[in-house]
């Protein structure tokens, strides 16, 4: 039996995905942390091998619990989420994606996430470097 996900969260998730898709079409920088696209959600954009990578950064505890599929998630300052379609596009484009740093959401099909204990630019950069390492490092998705 699947877990019930509140309709308000589903709407928020859809709205964020629209913003992620739009951000993937924008010019890339090394690391850009955007303004909120929804309450408690910012986009974190970068590139790997010239390909855009856009994560959503969730910081509202209730939203983090929804993505994790459980209110008993470890204490976290935020959650970096990425969709399976984007992961597949990166892999097809030859980018390395280390899925060992990501957990598949049980409540939100097609979403993978990493919990973060601190939200600084340096921590985000380090997490992104592990998930989508520079060319020549890591494992393939």
* Six token digits for residue 139: 């494992």
Residue 82: closest CA among 108, 118, 63: 108
What percent of the chain has pLDDT above 70? 88
Question: Is the pLDDT assigned to residue 118 strictly greater than 90?
Answer: no
Rounded-to-integer distance, Cα 107 and Cα 4, Å: 8
- What's the rounded mean pLDDT across residues 56-68? 92
Whole-number pLDDT of residue 3: 54
Structure letter (DSSP) for residue 74: P
pLDDT at 83: 96
Q: Report residue 80 as tokens.
A: 């970096």
Structural domain boundaries in the chain: 7-131
In this predicted model, what pLDDT tens digit does every residue of 28-48 receive, in sequence order? Answer: 778 899 999 999 999 999 988
How far apart CA 116 and CA 125 sit, in angstroms, is: 12
Report the C-alpha gap between 127 and 111 in whole angstroms. 17
């Amino acid at each position: 039996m699947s877990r019930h996900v509140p309709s308000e969260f589903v709407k928020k998730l859809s709205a964020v995905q629209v913003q992620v898709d739009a951000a993937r079409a924008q010019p890339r920088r090394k690391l850009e942390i955007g303004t909120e696209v929804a309450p408690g959600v910012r986009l974190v954009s970068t590139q790997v091998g010239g390909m855009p990578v856009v994560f959503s950064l969730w910081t509202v505890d209730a939203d983090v619990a929804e993505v994790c599929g459980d209110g008993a998630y470890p204490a976290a300052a935020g959650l970096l989420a990425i969709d399976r379609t984007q992961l597949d596009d990166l892999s097809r484009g030859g980018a390395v994606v280390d899925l060992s740093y990501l957990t598949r959401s049980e409540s939100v099909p097609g979403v993978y996430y990493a919990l973060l204990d601190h939200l600084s630019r340096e921590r985000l950069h380090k997490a992104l470097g592990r998930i989508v390492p520079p060319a020549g490092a890591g494992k393939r998705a």
